[in-house]
Amino acid sequence: MCFVHRFAWTRCLSWGCLTGLMLFSAVTVSAQAPATTPESDATQSSVQRTLDGFVQAFNNHDVNAMLSFWKPTAIHQQITAGETLQGKQAISDAYTALFKQDSKAVLQVTLNSIRAITNNVIDAKCSTEIRHSDQSVSYSKFAAILVRDGDGWLFDQVRESDVPVQQQLPQSALQAFDWFVGTWTDSNDTVQVTNRVEWDRGGSFLIRHWQSLAATGQLQSGMQLIGWDGEQGVYRSWVFESDGTFGEGVWQQTAEQTWQCHLVIKRPDGRRGSFTQVVEQRSSHELSFRTVNVQVDGQALPSSGPEQLLRQAD
């Protein structure tokens, strides 16, 4: 928890209070995420300017300037503490108490995603970090409804929660994927598929090298990394394909023996897309691997698999 007693909520408000929802937003992009447009880029830029202005006011400990970013009837919910602030006065009191208790608090906010509800209302998801006078650091994530105000935005509703600092090391966290380590193959009359999954030298990442050789002689290959994000408490993944495509995603365990990773990618020609990997452990020596919800620039493409992969003896 980022606060100490009730005041701590104020402390979290530091921006924990008005900040916070990232989580995995990482993945916090929908499976049918459309390509960006000049309008969406302009909206994101204006939201970023609003956040930058709020952060500057916070780091100056200027409560009046901070309140200028809130609607008079704004509501802030601190989910972890089970508390709700209603209206500018309550929010002002919380920030005033925070700065009285923590005279050197410094806020940093990361905008993870935005979604237009209407032309004048958006849903923004962010993650925050506050460095306190005692050198401790607290993290939070939040989802905010913002309404347009001239060239900027005002906070209308905010739902914020703490992100606990994870104590486990990457090596121990990644033991959840230990069954994935090994060499896995599948072949038929049209294609030969090989996946080799191994630990990196330091034991902090899993590395998956794959290649697909078609009967026509066409070869595709790539690399995927899996690592533990201790701040957000999620398994992150990065992919790099031989044609220049790269992307990032987050893994989720959806059943006892099944994991999914939704990845957002950028192709070498600049187009954007996304897809979801589904891996099911059938036994200690067999797994199923398929790719679904494939799209590029909003256009749906065929899924692939499932490939029935068998573990090969080392």
What's residue 305's pLDDT?
79
Q: CA 279 to CA 138: how far, in whole Å?
A: 34
**Parallel/antiparallel/unpaired status of strands 258-266 and 152-163:** unpaired
What's residue 314's pLDDT?
65
- pLDDT tens string, the chain, 314 residues long: the values are 232 223 334 333 433 434 332 222 222 233 333 344 556 678 888 999 999 999 999 999 999 999 999 999 999 998 888 889 999 999 999 999 999 999 889 998 888 888 999 999 999 999 888 888 887 778 888 899 999 999 899 999 999 988 765 544 566 778 888 889 999 998 888 888 899 999 988 888 999 999 988 888 888 899 999 998 877 778 899 999 999 999 999 998 888 889 999 999 999 999 999 999 999 998 889 999 889 999 998 889 998 878 889 998 76
Give the homologous superfamily in CATH for domain 170-312: Calycin beta-barrel core domain (2.40.128.20)
Under 8 Å CB-to-CB from 52, ≥6 apart: which residues? none
For the chain, give every residue range classified as CATH 3.10.450.50: 5-163
Q: Find out if CATH 3.10.450.50 is the number for domain 5-163.
A: yes
For the chain, give every residue range classified as CATH 2.40.128.20: 170-312
Q: CA 180 to CA 206: how far, in whole Å?
A: 9
SS (H, E, C) 171-185: HHHHHHHHHHCEEEE
CB neighbours of residue 121 within 10 Å: 13
What's residue 140's pLDDT?
87
What's residue 56's pLDDT?
95
CB neighbours of residue 41 within 10 Å: 10
What's residue 178's pLDDT?
86
